[in-house]
Structure 1
Amino acid sequence: MTALAPRRDEPDLSFLLDHTSHVLRTRMAAALAEIGLTARMHCVLVHALEDERTQVQLAEIGDMDKTTMVVTVDALEKAGLAERRPSSTDRRARIIAVTPEGEKVAKRSQKIVDEVHRDALEALPKGDRENLLRALNSLAEGHLATPAEASAARRARQ
């Protein structure tokens, strides 16, 4: 005997956000894989180009744990796209420096990321795009800006 699903009075926002985010991430992963990058590698490259940043700072920006960040930077180094160097401002710290080849790849990958985002938004009428972006920004900067502190709350795999 199959139990009946409970009646819903509210839209399933969790499903809508999770599903669309998952599909967008898979499309992004496929597009970036064509140039040999992962989304994490792209994230590290573009943010390392913006400013002199340590591995810890880049991990925080990309919401990566220490192990994932080390693996990501190792892959970038192996590919010749980035390298660990001493910081110019703190001799104890090491920064992630993007190589000239890494800079070219980062520019290319940013175009790919922008295209994936543009394609997703272009599936909506123009007014809906603007409304969606405004609403998501409002949630991200307001009510949903900070995760719950509950120890049972787990972040989905990236």
Structure 2
Amino acid sequence: MATSTRAASVADLAFLLSQASHALTTEMTAGLTELGISPRGHCVLSRAMSCDLTQSQVAELCALDKTTMVVTIDELEKAGFVQRRPSSTDRRARIVWVTEEGKRTVAQAHEIVARICDDVLAALPAREREAFVDGLVRLVQGRLSTPVHCERPVRRRAPRVP
């Protein structure tokens, strides 16, 4: 019976990963609401804090398309968390500059995200947690790092509204 259960789980890997991602994103969305940012906004703020990156560079680091990045930056800018500044090397590009308020917000967001992740991973036995995360990292940085080409591109679904 264990073999057939494992075979069914492997066959449903995309479903399992999708469900886990959806549930985790929903929980993070709820947790970050008090700060006025979304998980996507948290990702953008976190990546933009590292150095002077253009919108395109931050979008690439966050796996966001151009339109989604512009909307996200608009939201963060309106909230006072970032500013768009001209690049010193390319007058067409804009640097995403995190404001002091944005830095405080991202620090608080890191605490919330860490708490949620710790709580989620606590559902696994302690000896399995590190291996689980290491395995996901290897998949995302390796085999699943670049989507294959297909005739009908797969669209990412929008989060469900409860």
**Fold agreement, TM-score > 0.5:** yes
Instruction: Name structure 2 gaps, 5 residues minimum.
Output: none
Q: Which sits farther off after the overlay, 138-147 or 13-22?
A: 138-147
Q: Residue in 1 aligned with 2:151? A: 151
Q: How does 1:96-111 map to 2 (within 5 A)?
A: 96-111=96-111
Q: Residue in 1 aligned with 2:75? A: 75
CA distance in 2, matches of 1:17, 1:147: 15
Greater helix content: 2
Find the residue that maps to 1:67 and give its secondary structure.
helix
Q: Which amino acid aligns with 2:157?
A: R
Identity %: 47
Segments ≥4 residues shifted beyond 6 Å: none
Q: Please state how far the C-alpha of 1:156 moved relative to its aligned partner.
A: 2.1
Q: Please state how far the C-alpha of 1:100 moved relative to its aligned partner.
A: 0.8
Q: Please state how far the C-alpha of 1:19 moved relative to its aligned partner.
A: 0.8
Aligned positions, number:
152
The structure that has the greater radius of gyration is 1
Q: Residue in 2 aligned with 1:140? A: 140
Contact 2:85 2:97 in 1 (8 A): yes
Query: For residues 12-37 of structure 1, what are the alpha-carbon distances to aligned partners after superposition, in whole Å with 9 as ceiling and x for unaligned?
Result: 21121111111011001111112111
Q: TM-score, normalised by structure 2?
A: 0.84
Q: Residue in 2 aligned with 1:22? A: 22
Q: TM-score, normalised by structure 1?
A: 0.86
CA distance in 1, matches of 2:117, 2:151: 33
CA distance in 2, matches of 1:157, 1:150: 17
Q: Which amino acid aligns with 1:16?
A: L
The answer as to 2:126 corresponding to 1:126 is yes
Q: Residue in 1 aligned with 2:84? A: 84
Q: Which sits farther off after the overlay, 24-33 or 69-78?
A: 69-78
Give the RMSD, CA atoms, in angstroms: 1.9
Q: Residue in 1 aligned with 2:117? A: 117
